[in-house]
Amino acid sequence: MKHNRLLSNAIAIALGATLLGACSPKPPAATAADAQAFVKQLNADLASLAIEGSAAGWVQATYITGDTEMLRARASERLLEYFSKAIKESRRFDGLALDDDTARTIKLLQLTDQVSAPAPDDAAKRAELATIMARMEGDYGAGKYCVTKNGKEDCRNIDQLSVTIAKSRNYDELAEAWAGWHSVGRQMRKDYTRFVELANEGASEIGFADLGAMWRSPYDMKPEEFEAEVDRLWGQVKPLYDQMHCYARAKLAGKYGEDKVPAGKPIPAHLFGNLWAQQWNNIYGDILKPFPSVQAENVNAALVKQSYTAEKMVKQAESFYTSLGMPSLPSTFWERSMLTRPRDRDVVCHASAWHMDMKEDVRIKQCITPTEEDLGTIYHELGHVYYYLAYKDQPFMYENGAHDGFHEAIGDTVLLSMTPGYLAKVGLVKQAQPSREAVLNEQMKIAADKIAFLPFGKLIDQWRWGVFSGAIKPEDYNKAWWNLREKVQGVSAPVERTEADFDPGAKFHVPGNTPYTRYFLSFVIQFQFHRALCEAAGYKGPLHECSVFGSKEAGQKFQAMLAAGSSRPWAETLEKLTGTRQMDASAIIEYFGPLMGYLKETNAGQKCGWDGEA
């Protein structure tokens, strides 16, 4: 659920004769020609750095050792220095009348989250920041929960603990697994506190109030306006989430008892089948499914029966994109991607897509198993890959999404076309005319993934913005985290938490320092994209039944948006595809219309809501 671009991960190699040499001394007066030369050099330098820089990150993520961690840290340090100086140098051109491309490139440089933690000027602090960032990500990747049983140490990694959380229905066993994984955050707490200090210093030196303000800056809004926009979108979808929460709580109370899941209260976070309660799909089948006797065909069983390997699953996902008229994946993708967990080393199994050379060396890193969930993740990651391939001929600074939510939305837009009709076409289910009950089951299954995620997608950065601004103090990190989890998401910690814990660190994107609001935005605009593509395909009918598989008309419109990269303001790119310049969650409400009606009817008479909700 992540795309890895050279700058997004702050990795690069020695600069040589690059823009750094041009960053000082400051010329007495800058001209438009100077700005054009600056932009040309910037794009050239970064393009030349991409191969070695991305390689440092790839090796560290796929071969976790002290050596690769050190190499990643040193590479990060050099890029952080480069970018901080380049941003400062670009200030020479403020106020000049510039051509559109030059002005936009400089704006993207100055208002960028591509370096997610700008380095301070001080060389020692820069080195310290790079080391901390690499160490936190390494701690997460190598994290394990260990207990001594019968005189032997028994350790479980995130994969094994995730299986327990997904499959067990024993309340205490779930609580142990949840607490076991969340213990990995404790060792990061001191590092994270220092990271905030250093990253904020770097952000301040390039003109931002703090790192959170810097992260919010690329959206063509003031930071406070962007926060209000996120709140507006959340307000559009919150009524549907509230109904989902009320329904889930009643079902979980029936399973575990009202003493453990009381009405009108937040739900214990370990009961949703996911280590972070961010998606509820793992409890869909036996707990949330509205009509248990109405059986859908088992895609997991079909994948196993048809001997789907990791490579075959990726080939299946590729075939959707090529059906829209997009190219086949290059041969290097198959030679260089990591598709399964290696047996001989620690790796970061968190699925991600990589653009190694800013041209055609594209890869994914994922520990694939033959499950419907992993198949969907592949479709998502290939969305990043096809975005990379579409904009590969843009200048380097335009090789990114229109905004970061776009990148995350592409693959998930395709997932919305993985309807029962589509799955039948590719042989994973048999063709069937769905009944009302089957439709509601399918809508609940999708909502357990999509709608359940929305408050979690919102609150991670809401917490970090407070941390970066100083509104949340280090001594209150965990308390503030759980205040937000309860207020926004309606979930509570299953066991006692203190400030000795650092539960945000148990989520990859916090130690990995990846902004998270992009995922919230992507979950909104993917439905907006889906509706627009269905219209382009000439589809008439309920939105939830639409699949654009095989539609060259939809593919042509999709590809045109992808090829623009970040060369135009995101609102303009959005308008060309959807006809509006505003992000809009109304397509979500349209898509889940049948489910919303069912939930309101089912929840009638229940004590919905929870204490202190937002």
Beta strands in 123-227 (DSSP E): 144-149, 152-157
Q: Do residues 174 and 271 lie in contact, with contact meaning Cβ atoms separated by under 8 Å?
A: yes
For residue 353, give both structure tokens. 């897509």
List CB contacts of 412: < 8 A, sequence separation 6 or more: 380, 383, 522, 523, 526
H helix or E strand, kind and range, residue 3 = strand 3-4
Best CA proximity match to 512, nearest among 184, 21, 165: 184
Q: Which residue is listed with tokens 């820069």?
A: 126
DSSP 375: H
476 CB neighbour count, 10 Å cutoff: 14
SS3 category, 352: strand
Residue 214 to residue 200: CA distance in whole angstroms: 9
Q: Do residues 374 and 366 lie in contact, with contact meaning Cβ atoms separated by under 8 Å?
A: yes
Q: Which residues are catalytic?
A: 350-351, 380-381, 384, 408, 509, 519
Q: Give the helix, strand, coil percentages of the chain, each rounded to 5.
A: 60, 5, 35
Q: Do residues 438 and 294 lie in contact, with contact meaning Cβ atoms separated by under 8 Å?
A: yes
Best CA proximity match to 296, nearest among 199, 417, 429: 429
Phi, psi of 553 (to 5 degrees): -65, -45
Find how far residue 43's CA is from the centre of its chain.
26
Phi, psi of 330 (to 5 degrees): -65, 160
For residue 424, give both structure tokens. 């039948």
Q: Which residue is listed with tokens 């390039």?
A: 206
Residue 319 to residue 420: CA distance in whole angstroms: 17
Q: Which amino acid is at 114?
A: Q
572-574-576-582 Cα dihedral, nearest 10 degrees:
-80
H helix or E strand, kind and range, residue 485 = none
For residue 364, give both structure tokens. 């994914």
